[in-house]
Amino acid sequence: MYSAEISRANPTLFVFLLDQSASMQDQIGSGEGQRKCDVVADALNRLLSELAIKCAKEEGVRDYFYVSVFGYGGSGARPALSGPLAGRDLVPLSEIAASPARLEPRTKKVPDGAGGLVEQEVKFPTWVDPVASGGTPMCNALTKAQSVASRWLNDHPACFPPVVLNLTDGEANDGDPAIPAEAVRQLASADGPVLLFNLHVSSDKSPPIIFPDSDVALPNQYARQLFNISSTLPDQMRTYAQQQGIAVSDGTRGFVFNADITSIVQFLDIGTRASDLR
Amino acid sequence: MRVYPSTFHLPKRGNSFQEYEDAFWVGPDDDGNGEIGSLRVAVADGASSSMLAGRWARRLVKIFGSAKGVTRTRADFLAAYREAAYSWDGEVREYKTDREKRGVPIEWYEEPGLAKGAYATILVVEFSDGRPGYPRRWKAAAIGDSCLFQVRGESLCSCFPISDVTGFSYQPPLLPSRVAEDDVVLRHVCLKSGRWEQGDHFYIATDALAAWFLRSWQAEERPWAILRDLDTEAGLDFATWVDQQRDLGEMHDDDTTLVRIDT
């Protein structure tokens, strides 16, 4: 399981679900007082950016992945990409890379080659903007993800299983998300069941937690619920998590609490990994 | 010295031959009288998750294939690597200039990969006749998981640098285009030498085919029986056979390269 080659001939699907409910106005418990809606929008923009960079080759981005982005708030879930891709619910990665809504200049610190750091200007692409309004129809969003993944699997029965990533504060108000989450996880390609991961942003001031194997240390009911609906990490992903210094076990799940989840992009193999000799 | 090299290559499914990121080089040293004094073969596998990996692999096989001595000492291997890496920035500059001229400048998603550099495995093998009265020798040097197999009759005599199929992974050691520290490179260089006899067959392959070979051999099969006949009247053509193995799940869908040396 989870060993199918990801290629242009056999691409896979990423579905991102972005909580855009009113509670996302609140500040995250850790960090520098950012709003939760800013944190998840930034996380999603960085995830899309990392995916595009990972698949960039000479003169283009290869379509190893197709991407769906749904925002949920108010009455239901709807396509959430802005700019030229607005309204699209399934977009090949090359189009994602070619059509951000904006490219904003940002500075980042990079090694100066003499042991120090120097500020360098980089272009940061943006596809989704922070939104916080209305209720939290998470069940509706998960059902939408199930529908998109189901269609995808009909057309790509042998693909590496689609990954559904839900970015939320966990406060669903349209029912018990465990039920549609189970329906998502029951979908499967010949290579294994669909993976459902969750990024929980919370106002709780507990320390960040990344890829736990138990809900014991989680600070509230929403965190525990999101942990329990998350898939366990497949073997290969656990190995990569371990290489990044994360303690893992057979029960490690695709769940993080108030922490960065961008690393999951690096958990997916698209061929020989480029890493420095040590 | 009578040796007969044949080369085979096929890109990953869905990719064109222009997107193939392995590379190979076969170079006879002609003594001026039509006799081949030695033969050098180099194969490299550009890491698919790096930018300009195919160009870096081609640069490596050209430099390592042309350089004498790289299979003899680690210091000579390091010298060839330095030559490749120190001239890489110039190639990247030319690439960027060419893109500008063609009106397709570097995009935001390419910049991090270009800054990080390219990565590839390298395996170079040198065959020589040896002095009169002495056995014929081969010498090989490698970093990464491109492999050499030596077959005599119906026996596998040598595997290098990997001899067990569990030795393959998505993270083999790779030569980076950004100059790595000498001691780090030297730590990863593998050297091996052996004798060869007329009638031996050598198979030099990048990882997808090398892993298939070892898995087959470890299952007590004779993988060389298939490779020996490729592109002959008795066997399948390379592309058809690789496609079959990919369909059967017996071979990773990856750029696939084989250099066969019949002696």
> What pLDDT digit, counting tens, does each position of B207-229 carry?
999 999 999 999 999 999 999 98
DSSP bridge partners of A189: A192
Would the CB atoms of A276 and B14 count as touching at under 8 Å?
Answer: no
| Chain A contact residues (CB < 8 Å to B) | 5, 7-10, 49, 52-54, 56-59, 61, 97-98, 103, 122-123, 125, 269-278
Residue A7 has pLDDT above 90, yes or no: no
User: Which H, E and C letters describe chain B, residue by residue?
Assistant: CCCEEEEEEECCCCCCHHHCCEEEEEEEEECCCCCEEEEEEEEEEECCCCCCHHHHHHHHHHHHHHCCCCCCCHHHHHHHHHHHHHCHHHHHHHHHHHHHHCCCCCCCCCHHHHHHCCEEEEEEEEEECCCCCCCEEEEEEEECCCEEEEEECCEEEEEECCCCHHHCCCCCCCEECCCCCHHHHHHHCEEEEEEECCCCEEEEECHHHHHHHHHHHHCCCCHHHHHHHCCCCCCCCHHHHHHHHHHCCCCCCCCEEEEEEEC
Cβ contact (<8 Å) for A272 and B170? yes
Domain boundaries, chain A: 12-100+126-267
Question: pLDDT tens, A29-85?
Answer: 876 678 989 989 999 999 999 999 999 988 789 999 999 999 999 889 999 999 999
Q: Which CATH number fits domain A12-100+126-267: 2.40.50.90, 3.40.50.410, 3.50.50.100, 2.60.130.10?
A: 3.40.50.410
Report chain A's mean pLDDT, rounded to a whole number. Answer: 89
Pick from B108, B111, B185: CB nearest A277: B185
Contacts of A158 in chain B (CB under 8 A): none
Give B233's pLDDT tier (boundaries 50, 70, 90).
confident
Tell me the domains of chain B and their CATH numbers.
Answer: 4-10+19-262 (3.60.40.10)
pLDDT at B237 > cutoff 60:
yes
Nearest Cα of chain A lies from the Cα of B49 at a distance, in angstroms, of 6
ipTM, interface predicted TM-score of the complex: 0.88
Contact present, A224 and A34 (Cβ < 8 Å) = no
Q: Are A242 and A67 in contact (CB under 8 A)?
A: no
B254 and A CB contact within 8 Å: yes
Residues A120-144 have a mean pLDDT of 91
Strand partners for B149: B159, B203
A274 with B53: Cβ contact below 8 A: yes
User: What is the reported pLDDT for A111?
Assistant: 66
Whether the CB-CB separation of A69 and A16 falls below 8 Å is answered with yes
Q: pLDDT tens digits for B39-80?
A: 999 999 999 888 999 999 999 999 999 988 899 999 999 999
Contact B109 A122 (CB under 8 A): no
| Spatial separation of the C-alpha atoms in residues B78 and A75, rounded to whole Å | 64
For A150-157, what is the mean pLDDT?
97
pLDDT band at B128; cut points 50, 70, 90: confident
Q: Which residues of chain A neighbour B249 with C-beta distances below 8 Å?
A: none
Residue of chain A whose alpha carbon sits nearest to that of B103: A59
Taking CA–CA distances from B206, the nearest residue in chain A reads A272
- Closest CA relative to residue B187, chosen from B77, B84, B86: B77
Q: Which residues of B touch A272 (CB under 8 A)?
A: 45, 47-49, 119, 170-172, 174, 207, 254
A54 vs B contacts (CB less than 8 Å) = 49
What is the least distance, in Å, from the CA of A6 to any CA of chain B?
9
Nearest CA in chain B to A52: B109
The mean pLDDT of A208-233, rounded to a whole number, is 91
Phi, psi at B148, each rounded to 5°: -115, 135
Residues of B in contact with A67 (CB under 8 A): none
